Structure 1
């Protein structure tokens, strides 16, 4: 099973563009209103109450527009979570340190975010996907894949330049870090803190810095 998602923005900011387009081009303002309304409702009232009707009322956008831009309610919920996560947990840029240092900061930020509404919403969206489709593939395809691939590439770059001394496959190293954080969060095994996340990165990646 692949580890949970990390929040970054493909192309710099509007992941809602991953939804299929039909008809006239989208308005960025309207798209953001829909995504922000969907996330606000998920966080405040839970997924059951976050219906297309409720999102339309909250965002002042017609249901017809929402149905044009998203193939399913689950896809919209994932994109709303993604939109929020992209702003909350951007991947540190290359100029901000070594691959290991950037992974350490990102993992710490993810661990901190899990303690707030972000963690509850992420788990609820994944559960909704599994309930409706029988798997988490939709969540992986719309949310996790790009983030996982980008961090795997960052870890591989650290192995190549010698700043990361771990010799395993970068995909496995990523999963060991973020899968462990998510596993502990889901089952409440132990408190998840930024300090724990940084320690996990160091244990797995064996960085020089």
Structure 2
């Protein structure tokens, strides 16, 4: 990824000494832990400062707003929790299944609740959907789209629609089902969805 998830949201200028990675991670991990345990409303800058044992001044120096910090905390956790499948993990279709299953499983836990809260409360309030896309989704989407396209090129994926549309069909369906509670999102459903959309050979 061109830009690490712990960079200051919206490219806020850095002042003084460079950030400590250890301190940055402590802040981001504390913010995510509080969001998961107490909800976004209770995850104030004061609460994050107490939980991480970092001064409020430091937090405000590195993030332009509370919402920016909470978005960064979610993105930091998501990048660790849902790593992109390596090429050694099998065919493009097999790697797509693995990643879709991991996302489906994550949605059923605290990750899903935090993601929905961040999207509905932080992104809608700040209008920072472009930040969310540029900082997290774009890189991951591009990588998975290229993985699907590679499967189309080598003939292991038979679906002929643009790889971007195939990606959106898989992950859009998973998120849609989660948001509206239409049906349980199980690993078996995620695997069958990938096969239905990608039509892997054999």
Cα drift, residue 87 of structure 1: 1.9
TM-score, with length taken from structure 1: 0.89
- Per the alignment, residue 43 of structure 1 pairs with 36
Cα deviation per residue 1:134-169 (whole Å; 9 max; x = unaligned)?
463332232222211111111111111111111111
Cα deviation per residue 1:35-84 (whole Å; 9 max; x = unaligned)?
00000000011001111111111111111211222232222112211221
Cα drift, residue 86 of structure 1: 1.9
Show structure 1 runs of 5+ residues with no match. Answer: 1-9
Alignment check: 8 A CA contact 2:148 2:157 kept: yes
Alignment check: 8 A CA contact 1:92 1:106 kept: yes
Alignment check: 8 A CA contact 2:82 2:102 kept: yes
- Per the alignment, residue 22 of structure 1 pairs with 14
- Per the alignment, residue 201 of structure 1 pairs with 194
State the number of aligned residues. Answer: 199
Show structure 2 runs of 5+ residues with no match. Answer: none
Distance change in 2, residues 1:94/1:27 (3 Å) = same
- Per the alignment, residue 123 of structure 1 pairs with 116
